[in-house]
Amino acid sequence: MVVDPVAGEMLGIQSVPVSDMDVDIIVTIGGDGTILRTAMSNSAAIVGINAGGVGFLAEIDIDDIEEGLARLIRGEFSIDERFKLDTFYNGKKLEPAVNETVVHTDTVGKIRQFKVYVDGRLATELRADGIIISTPTGSTCYAMSLGAPIIDPNVNAFVIVPMAAYKFACRPIVVPADADITVECVLDRGCLLVIDGQAEHQVPGQVKIDFQRSKEKVRFVMFGKDFYSRVREKLVNAI
């Protein structure tokens, strides 16, 4: 067993950075942000213990730690593989996203103008606070809060979600996962790229950001609860 530096300091034992761990499975304790941060640093399968808020991606509730870890040790689990989203800016591939990449104005209260292309064709042009490009995994997170549909993780699609668009008919667009998506920041005003809420990149105006389905995948340890039961429990019936 190896632990990260935070846990190592608490327990008084030797630790290893998550990015350097050569393991089959990583157990996280926290919320979905902890899981996303771990997935950005390591390709091992992840099982989350929910010690945060909703914990939609977490498989083990805080009250069920003993049973959950026992099932893990006994090998009573499956691995759910899901595709990530690659973001390209200025000729460089940025961190792959499990949930989404957000293109957002870098100034509060100042909207930006965007053009969105799908496979080279103009899909929409709008003024808005920003645009989200979300995977099916991310459709139950930030995208959902903006009115985008929940997408079954087995569906090969992305959803393009406007943020506070100044356009009455502007709605989320679901596109095939093999589509090439481009977001053009039209005005000469800065934006922020935020990937899974973990990595931020400042970009100037009048640039294009490209998005593609990643060859990398995130792997989650699952104990058998189906996606729709999770939606009902965590999102529909939650207070």
Integer Cα distance of 38 and 27 in angstroms? 10
- Give, as one character, the DSSP assignment of residue 230: H
Q: Please give the full DSSP string across 137-189, using - where no structure is assigned.
A: GGGGTHHHHTTPPP--TTS-EEEEEEES-S-TT---EEEETTS-EEEEE-SSS
User: Known catalytic residue: 196?
Assistant: no
Neighbours of 198 (CB within 10 A): 17
How far does the chain reach from its first CA to its final CA, in angstroms? 37
Q: Which of 32, 86, 129, 196 is catalytic?
A: 32
Q: Which tokens in the block code for residue 18?
A: 């998550």
- Are 210 and 181 in contact by the 8 Å Cβ rule? The answer is yes
Integer Cα distance of 20 and 41 in angstroms? 8
Q: What is the dihedral of CA 64, 68, 79, 196, to 10 degrees?
A: 40
Query: Looking at the annotation, which residues are catalytic?
Result: 32
